[in-house]
Structure 1
Amino acid sequence: MKISKRVFIFFAFTLFSVSCSSSDSPADERVSSTEVTTTSIVAEDSEEDKDENDSSPPIEESRDSSYIFDQNRLHTFELVLPQSALDELDADPMAEEYVEGELVFEGETIGPVGIRYKGSVGAWVGCVGSGEIFADGGAKACTKLSMKVKINWDDPDAEFFGLRKLQFHSQNLDQTHMHERLGYWLFREMGVPAPQSVHARLVVNGEFVGLFALTEQIDGRFTRHNFEDGTGNLYKEVWPLRSNGEPRTGEEFYEGLKTNENDDDLDMSQMVSFAEQIATKEDMQETMRQWMDIEEIISYAIVDRSIRNDDGAFHWYCSFEEANFGNECNNHNFYWYSNPSTGKVHLIPWDLDNSFENILFDANPVTPIPDKWGETRNGCEPFSYGMWNLTQRSAACDKITYTWTTFDEEYERIYNEFMQGPFAKEQVESLLDTWEEQIAPVVREAAETHDDALRFEMWQNALNRFRQSLAHARGEEIPKEFFNSSGRFNDIEIPTSNPNGSLNMEDLSGLTEIKLSITPEPIPGQPWTGVLRGEGLTPGLPSAVFGCPGSSLPNIDLCNMSNMLAIAFANEDGEIETEEFSVPRIPSEGGCFLVGNSGPDRQPNTGDEQGGFICTD
């Protein structure tokens, strides 16, 4: 096979791990010695429990979720199901339909249970069908996909260590494998109700699949573990105010209700009243104190902004079709709980797999939030931002969020407590060191077992970058090679000649002397791991590497829907060499690697926008 090279100047479309995934996560933590145990499971979608760490009690002595979410143990779970049922799941993971199976854990078989794949938008990136980002269906294309096990599959009262659902998150877009576990731990340490999360080893029909994040389901069991009165209503992704400031109706809250929905005496007046009073009252701070625990919600905001949870409650997406947000601006990845005894409402974080990504620079093409806490822009009208030029609205334009931003004294005090406590270098480094040691054997096992698994060295490199990004978030100086000022990619624009967001070959005009090479040679239809090198790029600027199908020439219509594969900074001689990266499968019809950088300091059309591609032929 021969490698075909063509180089053009083009507007660089850079695609990192895409967000808006709808995955669940449990988190609680404290760490000491690690113990690996084995477990087998069958699963479905649901909600469940949360617990504090136990000091590794024997299974007979502890039948609650603290044993499952023990930070000192790395459990193995096995799912057992008929091959025909597994084939049915693999044929269309996005159907998210349960099949019957069994869960095996520490020699005990639990069943029947419901098992399915789970996710939305980002969870399927590159892993269904032909590997496009926003796939609308197709067969399983990656070894690991997030899975859900429903313990109460045929018995509504069945439980497993106090849980009715188990959620295994693939972490395919998180090369550190630490985002969920650390993120939820930080929220919980700051007194924010949040799920527990640990790592788990998963086996399906006797075959090792990989390392997953086992994250607690947010449901009625979660509320009973986290609140003295957990019998209240739990709502998913219903913000009390619409983007125009009007309060949500009872019907809208009911659509997001996750508990008590079948109660004859269902009462949603607490949440409806909260929305109505926030929308109409003048004294916002006093009203907010009446309805919320200010220490708790300011702690939520501080953790959220420190870890750049940019795909959470403070990102108001506008008209983002692929995420089904409709025509108005909406946020997602959160729950509300209304406590009937205290009259307070509580915000609960959810889906942290894309957190931490944008600390050093805007690495994700979808999620970056440009505003600092309390800032607004564009007169509170939607504005375009990020690599994909998507529209969003400033979070502080929402009356609820704006009110939180006015608690300046509380924010400063709690921020200092966070930086000197849970987020302090010694604390976080100790956790990461312990967790890294705990999961390293399973990361290596996966790399040695599956061609599309994350390479062990790549995982270690990702952890190194992760530690540097956390240091930067704490205000520490970090080596220059790790740091790029936030927003460097935001001058990448889609040509106005093609408003649907794709490029035509006519847009790639003006040859330039960029030379690209890849080692080893990719083989169509096979997985690939290697390095890309380039010459003739702008010194000191980041270059994005992404891929799309194509032979001799890239299929440009699909390139803007491809996943970002790597990023590298050109040295003073204009040369780049990526770290080793992997592609689960080179398209059978051939594949192309595209490289581009975008000019300095977010200034478009500077003449520095460069790019090239190299294709199999």
Structure 2
Amino acid sequence: MAACCSALACTEDPPATEETETPGSSEPGSTAPGTSGGSVEPTNTSSATETEVTEGTGGPGATSETDSTAATPDMPGLEHDPNEDIPPVDAEGCHAIYAQDLLPTFEVTVEPDVWAQLMDEWNNGQANEDAGVNTNPYHPLAEFKYGDIRIHNASIRLRGNPTWWNPVPGGDKMQFQIGFDAQTKKGHFLGLKRVALDAATYNRHMLRDRLSLRFMRSVGIAAPCANNARLVVNGEYYGIFSNLEKLDEKFLERVMDDPSGGLWERNNWQLQANKDNADESRLEQLQDANTLEEVEEILDIEQALLTYAAEAVLPDSDGAWAGGKNFYVYDDPSRGKFMLLPWDLDNTLERFEDPPEGPYPVNPDPFVWEKLTSHGRTWYDISLKDPAYFDLYIDIIDQILHEGYQPAKMLGWVDEMSAQIEEAVLTDTNKPYTNTTYHNKVKALREYIQVRYDFVDDWLVCWQSGGKDDGLGYCVEQ
């Protein structure tokens, strides 16, 4: 396991357990891990280096929104709350909890009835959604712990698409979001409102989001940050996850010159930030734009083409380029136009493994390909009908392929990341696949990076050497 050497301290990993090729051998039953159906065993006992954060907003002695407490008994004389010591961003501009050299361990204490509720919601997710029932309500945590930070008013909920939730035990590993502002408006963890822990079943090397987002940030896209994280539930290691930065006010403060604009998630067009400042009429203008002039007026097309091009190079089957819904739009006051922001990249890279005529061919055309279940990509189609914007799109793909997607660099990142997380993956008995599958998927990822690079490089040669559109959007040499 790579040593943690970022601005945030890691907690010590538990000793590796014997490797298993049968997933689910120690998956949770109807009670929470670390319990026998009765009281919850504490994750750790208090020590002189830990701090309780009752409201998640201030240290001992601080006045909370709902209570006023003195210094906690286990930290007499503490002068400040370590949760307020927000570390500086890392070399990539990311919050330090997402640093690439860090594999954080988050510990949660969950009461048995709450764990049972989470499992019931996971196992009945699709039925609940069909019945109009909230599929992922927040539930209180007894404790969230990271290093010497202990928060007692955090909440936990499920995350992901209920359509793909396979029942536990014996199916998937549940995915979670931990909210620090769900109970207390100003609650936070090192300045963050939420922690998102993703474990998409078919992201079996656990690197799709992390690698794809790092590539996007390296080519100048305002993409969220990600690494991996371990989760311990009631003192027992539950598994490894993709640790994803949420797109919210905190993200906007980190990446935008003016973070006060409206931020909408494309899925259901949900407003996710700055609800008091958001202008719904501008969103309607963006949604209704159906000529080049209307698109140019409301959307930063050059920025959008960069996002489209990055998704095309990877490729990404669920983002804006493919006609998916996994992206956000930000109404940037400093530009006076909307930006496209990528999100949820667990369907990238070697996700494309079908034959050429399959729904997810190994090498989808960077201009033509669109998913069979496309929700439309009006701004893309309108912009690229213009010859000048099409030429710009080709130039952008050329630049980001040869500067950002260089196989040596990408493979170096894969080696670095996989070495860091391998032990945590192999000892994760809740993952729904074997350790052999994990190693095979890392190998497949490495092979795909080179295959994709070669294909897109040849595709560029055709367009840049006088190739012509065959009438369907494919380049043919003249």
| TM-score normalised by L of structure 2 | 0.69
Structure 1: runs of 5 or more not aligned: 1-31, 42-57, 129-138, 239-251, 317-330, 378-384, 386-390, 478-617
Counterparts of residues 583-598 of structure 1 (less than 5 Å): none
1: CA distance, partners of 2:345 / 2:202: 11
2: CA distance, partners of 1:437 / 1:69: 17
Residue equivalent to 2:87: 62
Distance 1:458 1:346, change over 3 A: same
Q: Which amino acid aligns with 1:458?
A: T
Report the CA distance between 1:224 and its aligned residue.
Answer: 2.0
Counterparts of residues 171-186 of structure 1 (less than 5 Å): 171-186=200-215
2:403 to 421, 425, 431: 421
Q: Quick check: 1:111 aligned with 2:138?
A: no
Contact 2:304–2:340 (8 Å) recurs in 1: yes
1:340 to 321, 333, 336: 333
Residue equivalent to 1:99: 139
Report the CA distance between 1:108 and its aligned residue.
Answer: 1.9
Residue equivalent to 2:443: 464
Residue equivalent to 2:424: 442
Distance 1:402 1:140, change over 3 A: farther
Deviation string, structure 1 residues 449-499 (Cα, Å, up to 9, x no partner) = x2755433321211111111111110179xxxxxxxxxxxxxxxxxxxxxx
Report the CA distance between 1:431 and its aligned residue.
Answer: 0.7
SS of the counterpart of 1:410? helix
Distance 1:340 1:425, change over 3 A: same
1:310 to 310, 317, 330: 317
2:173 to 117, 122, 144: 144
Distance 1:426 1:467, change over 3 A: same
Q: Judging by fraction of residues, say which structure has more helix.
A: 2
Q: Quick check: 1:403 aligned with 2:383?
A: yes
Distance 1:452 1:195, change over 3 A: closer
SS of the counterpart of 2:263? strand
Report the CA distance between 1:394 and its aligned residue.
Answer: 9.0
Report the CA distance between 1:416 and its aligned residue.
Answer: 1.9
Deviation string, structure 1 residues 389-448 (Cα, Å, up to 9, x no partner) = xx545956x3543314642322222222212212101111111111111111211222xx
1: CA distance, partners of 2:432 / 2:363: 33
SS of the counterpart of 2:103? strand
Counterparts of residues 249-398 of structure 1 (less than 5 Å): 256-261=270-275, 263=276, 266-276=278-288, 278-279=289-290, 281=291, 284=292, 288-316=295-323, 331-361=324-354, 372-375=365-368, 392=373, 398=378
Distance 1:361 1:34, change over 3 A: farther
Residue equivalent to 1:212: 241
Residue equivalent to 1:29: none
Report the CA distance between 1:196 and its aligned residue.
Answer: 0.7
Residue equivalent to 1:224: 253
Q: Which amino acid aligns with 1:443?
A: V
SS of the counterpart of 2:303? helix
Distance 1:209 1:338, change over 3 A: same
1: CA distance, partners of 2:359 / 2:136: 24
Deviation string, structure 1 residues 269-304 (Cα, Å, up to 9, x no partner) = 33333444x32x4xx2x6544444444222211211
Deviation string, structure 1 residues 579-610 (Cα, Å, up to 9, x no partner) = xxxxxxxxxxxxxxxxxxxxxxxxxxxxxxxx
2:197 to 155, 163, 168: 168
SS of the counterpart of 2:310? helix
Superposed CA RMSD: 3.4
Deviation string, structure 1 residues 131-182 (Cα, Å, up to 9, x no partner) = xxxxxxxx65446211010111321011111111111011322112110101
Report the CA distance between 1:258 and its aligned residue.
Answer: 1.7
Residue equivalent to 1:235: 264
Report the CA distance between 1:267 and its aligned residue.
Answer: 2.6
2: CA distance, partners of 1:155 / 1:359: 42
Q: Judging by fraction of residues, say which structure has more strand.
A: 1
Structure 2: runs of 5 or more not aligned: 13-42, 45-82, 126-134, 457-478
Deviation string, structure 1 residues 98-128 (Cα, Å, up to 9, x no partner) = 221121100321121111221214541xx21
Distance 1:375 1:436, change over 3 A: closer
Q: Which amino acid aligns with 2:11?
A: T
2: CA distance, partners of 1:339 / 1:451: 41
Deviation string, structure 1 residues 186-219 (Cα, Å, up to 9, x no partner) = 1211222211110001111111011100001111
Contact 1:63–1:162 (8 Å) recurs in 2: no
Report the CA distance between 1:74 and its aligned residue.
Answer: 0.6
2: CA distance, partners of 1:174 / 1:77: 21
Distance 1:425 1:368, change over 3 A: closer
1: CA distance, partners of 2:367 / 2:181: 44
2: CA distance, partners of 1:61 / 1:221: 13
SS of the counterpart of 2:151? strand
Distance 1:364 1:155, change over 3 A: farther
1: CA distance, partners of 2:330 / 2:374: 25
2: CA distance, partners of 1:61 / 1:166: 15
Residue equivalent to 1:492: none
SS of the counterpart of 1:257? strand
Residue equivalent to 2:117: 88
Deviation string, structure 1 residues 291-342 (Cα, Å, up to 9, x no partner) = 44444222211211122211222344xxxxxxxxxxxxxx411111101232
Q: Which amino acid aligns with 1:62?
A: P
1:200 to 221, 225, 229: 229
2: CA distance, partners of 1:59 / 1:70: 19
SS of the counterpart of 1:335? strand
2: CA distance, partners of 1:202 / 1:418: 35
Q: Which amino acid aligns with 2:225?
A: Q
Residue equivalent to 1:153: 182
2: CA distance, partners of 1:376 / 1:215: 27
Contact 1:358–1:368 (8 Å) recurs in 2: no
2: CA distance, partners of 1:364 / 1:438: 37
Deviation string, structure 1 residues 320-369 (Cα, Å, up to 9, x no partner) = xxxxxxxxxxx411111101232110111121111123444359987669
1: CA distance, partners of 2:184 / 2:375: 46
Contact 1:292–1:344 (8 Å) recurs in 2: yes
Report the CA distance between 1:229 and its aligned residue.
Answer: 0.7
Distance 1:358 1:66, change over 3 A: closer
Q: Which amino acid aligns with 2:118?
A: L
Residue equivalent to 1:327: none
Contact 2:208–2:345 (8 Å) recurs in 1: yes
